[in-house]
Amino acid sequence: MRRDLTALFDPASVAVVGASDDPAKYGHAVASQALRAPGRRPVHLVNRRGGTVLGRTAATSLAEIGEPVELVVISVPGAGFEAAVDDALACGAKAVVAITAGFAEAGAAGLARQRAVAERVRAAGAVLVGPNCLGIADNTTELYLASDRFAPGGVALLSQSGNLALELQLRGTPHGLGFSRFVSLGNQADVTLVDLVEDCAWHEGTSAIAVYAEDFGDGRAFARAAATAGKPVVLLTAGRGSASARSAQSHTGALTSSADVVAAACRDAGVELVRTPREMTVVLAALSAGPGRRTQEPRTHEPRTHEPRTQGRRTAVFTDGGGHGAVAADAAEEAGLVVPELGAPTQERLRTVLWEQSAVGNPVDLAGMGEQRPLSYADAVGGLLGADEVDAVLMTGYFGGYAASEGGLGGGPAGGSVLAEGETRAAKEIVGHLASAPKPLVVQSMYPQSPSCRVLAEAGVPVFSATEDAARALVAMTGRGAAGPTGVPPLPPAAVPLRDPGYHGIRALLAAAGVPFPPAREVTDEAGLLAAAGEFDGPYVLKALHLLHKSDAGGVALRLADRDALLAAYRDMHARLGAPAYSVEAMADLTDGIELIVGVNHDPRFGPVAMVGLGGVLTETLRDVAFSLAPVPAERAEALLRGLRTAPLLAGVRGRPAVDVTAAAAVIERITTVAAAHPEIAEIEVNPLLVRPDGALALDARAVLH
């Protein structure tokens, strides 16, 4: 259930405890900001010495105010923090913003103090942001309780770094980005990142949610909140989360990193994961753009899952110079876009508006026509936007230079007034074409601040100076394509805990869920071996049990044609390894088969996380794997498999038939559902999962309990 944070973002009254005239103290900065909107709500300043602060009479305590205060900001030394919280609750506070530090970040004793305070706040029916935070601000309610000002706009910024928030504001200004809210997360003792994402999803003044987080708390709950927010969520995180403490007793454990887990959660939830503040600004500018942006319809009862205007990534690169076009095409493909050659009908239509030497294959190059006829820019863009085979357009190069020269910015041809006028007209016509064919359009210009580029920017077209930024923006504006459907699957009900983590116990657990295996029997001596061989026909497989990498240790013998070969292999293996038990199995038909791996690790932040990829003995060497939160629906599993580098093998190469990827995806769903229903399993792995043209068969399985 979404928590009610009204008292936090739109309180009836505010008090700043620790307000000060000393500019070196944080209580001075917060009090100064709080007084920016004195007509919106009563703002009380509290300083234990009384007197005046910032020219206003300060109360010596909250009790001295003589009336209830709904939100209290506490910026006092740590020794007086608990008493200040108690005073706030006693005066009826429903929200507390705790600037004071020295709690969980200071060690076990501080964590115990923090938990005790949070319990008192919750027991009083109030909410607490922090401690160890830098305040909050809400431009939509004129609530200013942070040390800095934030330009108004549609981005809600939830951050564990104050300086990073300032950098985002500086970087966002040229793109017209502003903020609806700012919340410094602090230690999240009570109000968590999840609570804030859920509240911002319902906030009418917020169109996008930007997050910088070092600690997700409940990572799966964050992913679920982001997936259902109904508006874009952009995440920047340091180190991609805390690394899990794993024994790495399987390929899955060895291959999975914390970065993989965070990236998988973001992909599943539809979150835009970025690496730097610059990239975050680029993505936010793209998602805040006009045509092609992710929109939000009026909300009735529940947030609506946002969808991009287009899910295609077929990109037309349009330039006025061959070099810019080639660089932009490379940048687009490296970012994950597709730059295909345009079809003959589209090329012919372009030739009717461009001159003979113009290139129309893709990239489309004016080849100097812009200087002769600036409106050719608009003609070409209009033709590309109107082509069914084009999902998005990246315009790159000199556009903006003619008007820049006229405006005194330099770099344009001499006598450019006529060209400047024509370029501005071209910009306006491009806007008109975009209204008729609303597809994602991004511009990279050598002159992004020129008058003609401002025409585009004011109409909602993202304009960047760097080619790589333009390409990244276009990725954000287009669909996820091969990443498959988004959404965080619910965890199944917990099953009866597993008692037998041995090889045959895991086989039985998975087989009961519908995972197919070849016939097999566990044996401990020659008599049992021969009895097992009598239950099914050869050829046989013999495996030594209780070994981590059986193949490397010589603990697997394949294609044993008959009982005599099986017995000879057993005697040799037992003499070398002395394993306490062995498994006798029917040899699967490997003809035309591909070996996959399916594993699930239990991450402390995000819960069960699945890995699928190319399997067999070379799994760790090739590292062709993909990750997703478990359980993995079959549709998503199939998308993950088809997105592997080695996916062409699944479709059949060099005369080999295609394998049954749909059957493999169904088995992946069953395996990951079992793992998700057993939280006591730290790692579970099926390797290999043999996929043939006629279905899928699990050939080996293992698990590690917590």
Token pair 């070849």 in the structure block, residue: 518
The predicted structure's pLDDT at residue 161: 82
- Band of pLDDT at residue 311, cut at 50, 70 and 90: low
pLDDT at 249 over 90: no
pLDDT at 502 over 60: yes
**Across 262-270, average pLDDT:** 94
- Band of pLDDT at residue 307, cut at 50, 70 and 90: very low
Domain annotation for the chain: domains and CATH numbers: 1-136 (3.40.50.720), 148-245+271-294 (3.40.50.261), 315-478 (3.40.50.261), 519-586 (3.30.1490.20), 594-705 (3.30.470.20)
pLDDT, tens digit, 9 for 90 and up, residues 273-282: 999 999 999 9
Residue 230 falls in which region: left (phi positive, over 0), alpha (psi -120 to 50) or beta: left
pLDDT at 253 over 60: no
How close are the terminal C-alpha atoms of the chain, in Å? 31
pLDDT, tens digit, 9 for 90 and up, residues 294-303: 333 333 333 3
The predicted structure's pLDDT at residue 290: 65
Average pLDDT of the chain to the nearest whole number: 90
Q: What's this model's pTM, rounded to 2 decimal places?
A: 0.89
- Band of pLDDT at residue 405, cut at 50, 70 and 90: low
By C-alpha distance, which of 193, 434, 424 is closest to 292? 434
**Across 685-697, average pLDDT:** 96
The predicted structure's pLDDT at residue 289: 82
CA distances to 330, 409, 412, 419 from 406, in Å: 32, 7, 8, 9
- Band of pLDDT at residue 246, cut at 50, 70 and 90: very low
The predicted structure's pLDDT at residue 484: 59
The predicted structure's pLDDT at residue 332: 96
pLDDT at 703 over 80: yes
Tell me what percent of the chain is helix, strand and coil, each rounded to the nearest 5: 35, 20, 40
Higher pLDDT, 621 or 145: 145
- Band of pLDDT at residue 403, cut at 50, 70 and 90: confident
pLDDT, tens digit, 9 for 90 and up, residues 564-608: 999 999 999 999 999 999 999 999 999 999 999 999 999 989 999
The predicted structure's pLDDT at residue 481: 46
- Please give the structure tokens belonging to residue 539: 């050829």
Assess contact for 642 and 481: CB atoms under 8 A: no
pLDDT, tens digit, 9 for 90 and up, residues 323-366: 999 999 999 999 999 999 999 999 999 999 999 999 999 999 99
pLDDT, tens digit, 9 for 90 and up, residues 441-450: 999 999 999 9
Helices (H), 297-375: 322-334, 344-351, 369-372
The predicted structure's pLDDT at residue 483: 53
pLDDT, tens digit, 9 for 90 and up, residues 164-199: 888 999 999 999 999 999 999 999 999 999 999 999
Residue 411 falls in which region: left (phi positive, over 0), alpha (psi -120 to 50) or beta: left
